Amino acid sequence: MNLLILGRGRTGALVAEIARECKHDVRVIGADDNVHAAGLTPEKLGGVDVVIDFTTPAVVVENIGACLIARKNMVVGTTGWYELIPKIRGEVEAASVGLLYGANFSVGVNLLFDVVRSGATALQHQYLGHIFERHHTHKKDAPSGTAAMLQRIIKDASGSELEITSFREGDVMGMHEVIFDSPNDTIYLCHDAKSRRGFAAGAVKGAEWIAGKQGLFDFRDIWRDV
């Protein structure tokens, strides 16, 4: 496939590396080449099969809009725009394209989502809960999209909204921990990323999956198919 990757940061660079290992043709553009989505015109996207976005919340919605106009399928790893999902869903359907988004494309994190959904029933049995997340000092959003997703999953499963505590320190790849505590015991559910590779590999697999499909999809709903 011909892939266009938006973002020259650490994750975007690793996605490009893994995509090339998978024998895909890859082009990468950074923020300077894509001001107000200038690099995403229908002419410039000719021949591109899937666009993969690892940019920032400030520009991701504009990038999505440009890709919809060009009718190009997308994988969006950028978070911080999910309040617009109902609006984007309608636009994706109107454009007859496919868009796959995810708070985290790691298989391990998506397993954690499933475990936490089950564990949330503890809150109905006199447990108290809390979410902790740690990332490197360069991460721009807090709480992380993954922590926000954990919070949402727990609220949907139990009706309780847990507080999130965020830490930014050193070069931590990403640690997410959910704690359910009672007078009798404590349950710890934790995912600690050793590198960005699992996240990046999942995004490439997502691009392979979304190619040729139509509709808006959340990676946590389809990762087993990937």
Q: Check if the beta carbon of residue 204 is closer than 8 Å to that of residue 26.
A: no
* Residue whose entry in the numeric block shows the structure tokens 């009718």: 71
Choosing from 24, 44, 138, 139, which is the catalytic residue?
Answer: 139
Strands 175-181 and 186-192: antiparallel
| Catalytic residue (one of 44, 72, 135, 191) | 135
Contact, 49 vs 25, CB < 8 A? no
Q: Please say if 139 is a catalytic residue.
A: yes
3-state secondary structure of 164: strand
Contact yes or no for 220/113 (Cβ under 8 A) = yes
- Known catalytic membership, residue 135: yes
DSSP for 44-94, written as a single string: TTTT--EEEE-S-HHHHHHHHHHHHHTT-EEEE---S-GGGHHHHHHHHHH
As given in the structure block, the two tokens for residue 133 are: 């997340």
Helix, strand, coil percentages for the chain (3-state, nearest 5): 45, 25, 35
Asked if residues 149 and 182 have their Cβ atoms less than 8 Å apart, the reply is: no
Q: Which residues are catalytic?
A: 135, 139
